[in-house]
Amino acid sequence: MKSDGLLTHKTEVHYRTCPLCEATCGLEIHTANQDILTIRGDSEDPFSRGYLCPKGFSLKEFHADPDRIKKPMVRRGTEWHEVTWEDAFAEIRKRLLPIMKEHGPDSVGIYLGNPYAHNLSAQLYAPMFIRAIGTRNRFSASTVDQIPKQLSTELMFGGNFNIPVPDIDRTNYMLVIGANPLVSNGSLLTAPNMRSRIKALKNRGGKLVVIDPVRTVTAKVADEHHFIRPGTDALFLFALVHTLFEDGLVNSGRLTEHLIGLDEVRALAQEFSPEAVSPLCGIPADTIRRLAREVASAPTAAVYGRMGTCTQAYGTINSWLVDVLNILTGNLDRPGGVMFPKPAAATSSGKRRRIRYGRFHSRVRNMPEVIGELPAVCMAEEMEVPGPGQIKAFITIAGNPALSTPNGNRLQKAFENLEFMISIDCYINETTRHAHVFLPAPSPLERSHYDLIFYQLSVRNMAHYSPPVFELPADQLDEWEILLNLTAILSEKELGSDPVKALDDFAIMQLIQQEVKNPNSTIAGREPKEIMSQLNAERGPERMLDFLLRVGPYGDHFGSNPEGLSLAVLKANPHGVDLGPLVPRIPEILATPSGKIELAPDLLVEDEKRLRKTLRASPRENMVLVGRRNLRSNNSWFHNIETLVNGDNQCTLWIHPDDAARLGLSNGDEAVVTSRTGKIQVPVKVTEDVMPGVISLPHGWGHHLPGIRLETANRHAGVNSNILSDELAVDELSGNAILNGIPVVVMKSHPETVKRISKS
C-alpha cells in the first residue's frame, strides 16, 4: 500500500493488536490524517477488554520519534549516507555476493531479534531469505530466552511449539517459577491483563505461589512467595517430583495410556529428596513437600516456569520437569491445568518426525543445533576464529545483540572486524551502528499485523487481524518487500521484471503444494491452482495469512466449511474473533517418533547426570546476578521514548540490606560489579525485595556508546548488564545462555575505579 501524498482530512478510528509484547492487547487508535490523536485500550476486544500497559500508549511517541530511521543508509567509515533502495540493494549485491562466492554460505551469519516474533511480514518472508543464503550460522533471541522450553517440548510432545500454557482463567492453583507476569505481561503465556486474571483466580478461591529470588510485583500479590537460590530450580523441581512418588500422589489420569517413561522418571527422582536439595536451593524441605502435595491435591493446578527457569545452567531440565509435574498430577491437557492452544492460522501437522536436535554443530565450540539454529553465545567466536565457515558477513533483523546477548563487549569487537554487515531495524543503536547497509523497517503502525506465534501460546483461542493504521509512505518498503528484494539478490532463478512479485507467487504456490500433499490437511489432494485462484486478491502477508486461516482448523477449507474463517471474516471483525476456551488436544497433537508423550527422553535422562553432580556440591558463597524487567521498558529498545524513561532511573542494582551493609553500600551509591567477562558501575537500590547473596539488574541498557542515534536513550543511558553475562556459560544441552545466577563480585566504587571504568 502506498500513499499518493493526498490527505483525506478526516478523523478515523482503527482497531489493532499491540505488537510490542506477547499479551496481544487490542488498541483503539484515533487518527487525523497522518497524526495519532490518542491510543487507548479497545474495550470491545474480546480478549484484552480495554486493558493496555504504558508501552501500548507509547506507540504514538514511537511512531513520531524523530530518531527513527526512515531512509536506507550506507555507512562509509563513520559517515552515514542516505541512499535510494535501489542503491542500498546494489551495495548489498556488490559486497555480499563476493563474500558468499569466495567463502560459501556459512560465511554469512544472521540474528533474528525479539520483534521478529511480533512481525507478520518478517515471519512469513524471512525464512525464504535465510534458505536462499543457505547458512548454518543462524542465531536468534530464542537462545537467550526460551529454546530450553522449545527443546523439552520437542522431545516430550514432538513439537517445539507444542508448549502447554497454564489455563489461568480456570485453574485453582498456580505455581509460578521464575516469571514475573505482572510486569512482563506474560511470556509463553498470552493473556492480556494479567492482573485481572490473577485477581479472578484469587476471587474464585484459587491460590498463587511464586518461586523467585526476588520478591517481584507478582510475588507481592501471591498467596505465598519463596526465595530460591538462583540456578537451583532443577533440584527444587526434582524434589517435588520425588515427593509425588514417595507419597503415592502420582495420578496421570486420562494421559496414562499416552505416556512412556514413568518408571525412569521415578528412578531419576529418587536421589532428589527435599532434604537433599533444601540446603542448596534455600527452600525448607517441609515447604517443598507441602507444595508438592498442594499441587497434587488441588482440583486443578498449573505449574509454570519462564525466563528464570530457562536462562540458567539446567534450563532444559527445568522446562521438562515443569511439564513432568503437570503430567504426574493429571493436569496436562485438562481445563484448569496446562493446555495446548489451537491456533487459527496453521498448516496441517500431526506427522511424526525426527527430533530436530544436533543435526549439525557449531564450528568453534561444537554446540548442537536446536530446531535449526545455533546458540547466540557462539556468534562472536564464529566471527573471530579464522578458517572455513568463519562468519565474514552478518545480518541482523529486529535485534540488538550488542546489548541483549552475553559478553556484549566481545561481540561488539567482533562486529567491528566483519567484512560486511546489514541491519534491518528502526534505529541506529549499539548493534546497527556497526552495519554497512541499514534498511529501515516501517513503523508498526504502517504494517499489518497478526500474531502467528502468540496465538500458539494463548490462554484462549483467538484470531485478530490488524490492517495498517497508516499507508506506507511512498519511499518506504514493507518488511516483506525488503526481504524479498534481498532474496532476489541471492536467487539463481530468472525472476523477470518484478522479482518481488515472482518470488511472492512462488512462495505461496510452494506452501499450497506442500499442504495439498499432506494427507492430514483439510485440503488434501486438491488442485493447487484452484486453491490459488480462491485466495484473497492482495499479495504479500495478506495472501499468505488468508491461506493459513482458511486451511487452519477453523478455516473455510476453501469451500468445504463455508462458515469458516478467512481473512475476509477477520476483516469484518475488527475487534478480533474469540474461538473459545482451550480444549484437550492429546493424542491429536503428539508428534514424537513413538507417538506417545515421552516422559523420560534420552537426552534429558543423560543430562540429569550433570545435575546430579551438583547435589554433592557445597552451597555457593559468591554473589550472583539475576535480571529484571520493568513495565515501562521493552528489552533493549523503547528507551528513546521520553514518557517511558523519565522519572526514576530504571537501571539500578538491587541489593539486600545485609549485603549492602557488609559492602558499605547505601541507596544511590555507585557499586562496581565484576564478572569473568567484564566490569560495570551502577547506582544501587537497597531493598529487602531481593534475596541475600543476590543482586538484580535489568538488561537492554547502556546507551552511551558513540555513533548511536538515540537522543533520549542516550540521556538515560544506564549500563549494559550483558557485559557481565558470560558467553562461555550455557545450558549445555540446549546451548541457551545463562542470564540468571551469574557469579559476580560487588564492591563499593572508589573515585579511582570510576575514572578507570569511564575510560574503557
Give dist(CA 151, CA 163) in Å, integer: 10
- Only one of the segments 21-29, 414-422, 472-480, 580-588 lies at the binding site for ligand SF4 (rule: CB under 6 A); that segment is 21-29
Residues 12-31: x where in contact with ligand MGD by CB under 6 A, - otherwise, as a string: ---------x----------
Which of 489-528 are b and which e, b meaning 16 or more Cβ less than 10 Å from the residue's Cβ? Answer: bbbeeebeeebbebbbebbbeebbeebbebeebbbeebeb
For ligand SF4, the binding residue among 36, 39, 52, 395 (CB under 6 A) is 52
- Residue 180 binds ligand MGD, judged by CB under 6 A: yes
For ligand MGD, the binding residue among 31, 107, 152, 185 (CB under 6 A) is 185
Nearest approach, Cβ of residue 632 and ligand MGD (Å): 7
Looking at beta carbons only, is 712 or 725 nearer to ligand MGD? 725
Cell of 253: 489420569
Residues 378-407: x where in contact with ligand MGD by CB under 6 A, - otherwise, as a string: -------------------xxxxx--x---
- Residue 377 binds ligand SF4, judged by CB under 6 A: no
For ligand MGD, the binding residue among 178, 468, 564, 735 (CB under 6 A) is 178
Looking at beta carbons only, is 173 or 427 nearer to ligand MGD? 427
For ligand MGD, the binding residue among 487, 633, 652, 677 (CB under 6 A) is 633
Length of the chain: 760
- Residue 55 binds ligand SF4, judged by CB under 6 A: yes
Residues 408-427: x where in contact with ligand SF4 by CB under 6 A, - otherwise, as a string: --------------------
- CB within 8 Å of 401: residues ≥ 6 apart: 111, 113, 139, 376, 379, 408, 411, 431
Give dist(CA 53, CA 630) in Å, integer: 11
| SS3 track for 275-308 | HHHHHHHCCCHHHHHHHHHHHHHCCCCEEEECHH
Looking at the chain, the number of H-run helices and the number of E-run strands are 27, 28
Q: Which residue is nearest to ligand MGD (CB)?
A: 308
Nearest approach, Cβ of residue 146 and Mo ion (Å): 7
- Side chain identity at residue 718, one-letter code: G
- CB within 8 Å of 621: residues ≥ 6 apart: none
Q: DSSP states of 698-713 as a string?
A: ESS--TT-TT---HHH
Among ligand MGD, Mo ion, ligand SF4, none, what does residue 23 contact (CB within 5–8 Å per kind)? ligand SF4
For ligand MGD, the binding residue among 170, 197, 449, 699 (CB under 6 A) is 699
Nearest approach, Cβ of residue 184 and Mo ion (Å): 9
User: Binders of ligand MGD among 414-443, rule CB under 6 A?
Assistant: 424-427, 429, 441
- CB within 8 Å of 693: residues ≥ 6 apart: 229, 623, 624, 656, 659
Among Mo ion, ligand MGD, ligand SF4, none, what does residue 441 contact (CB within 5–8 Å per kind)? ligand MGD
Instruction: HSE, CB side, 13 Å, CA atoms: give it for residue 651.
Output: 25
Looking at beta carbons only, is 160 or 309 nearer to ligand MGD? 309
Give, to the nearest 10 degrees, the angle between helix 499-517 and helix 540-551: 10
- Residue 179 binds ligand SF4, judged by CB under 6 A: no
User: Binders of ligand MGD among 110-169, rule CB under 6 A?
Assistant: 113-115, 119, 141, 144-145
- CB within 8 Å of 315: residues ≥ 6 apart: 147, 148, 309, 731, 733, 734, 736
- Residue 733 binds ligand SF4, judged by CB under 6 A: no
Give dist(CA 611, CA 235) in Å, integer: 8
- CB within 8 Å of 430: residues ≥ 6 apart: 400, 402, 403, 408, 412, 636, 702, 703, 705, 708, 720
User: Binders of ligand SF4 among 1-20, rule CB under 6 A?
Assistant: 18, 20
Looking at beta carbons only, is 146 or 252 nearer to ligand MGD? 146
Looking at beta carbons only, is 25 or 545 nearer to ligand SF4? 25
Among ligand MGD, ligand SF4, Mo ion, none, what does residue 25 contact (CB within 5–8 Å per kind)? ligand SF4
- CB within 8 Å of 137: residues ≥ 6 apart: 106, 108, 109, 110, 374, 382, 389, 391
Q: Which residues contribute to the site for Mo ion (CB under 5 A)?
A: 145
For ligand SF4, the binding residue among 21, 500, 651, 737 (CB under 6 A) is 21
Cell of 313: 545452567
Cell of 547: 491461506
- CB within 8 Å of 758: residues ≥ 6 apart: none
Looking at beta carbons only, is 52 or 379 nearer to ligand SF4? 52
Cell of 222: 501471591
Looking at beta carbons only, is 55 or 68 nearer to ligand SF4? 55
Give dist(CA 243, CA 225) in Å, integer: 20
- Residue 23 binds ligand SF4, judged by CB under 6 A: yes
Q: Which residues bind ligand MGD (CB under 6 A)?
A: 21, 113-115, 119, 141, 144-145, 177-181, 183-185, 187, 211-214, 216, 228, 230-231, 233, 306-309, 312, 397-401, 404, 424-427, 429, 441, 444, 479, 626-631, 633-637, 699-700, 721-722, 725, 739-741
Q: Which residues bind ligand SF4 (CB under 6 A)?
A: 18, 20-21, 23-25, 52-53, 55-56, 185, 192
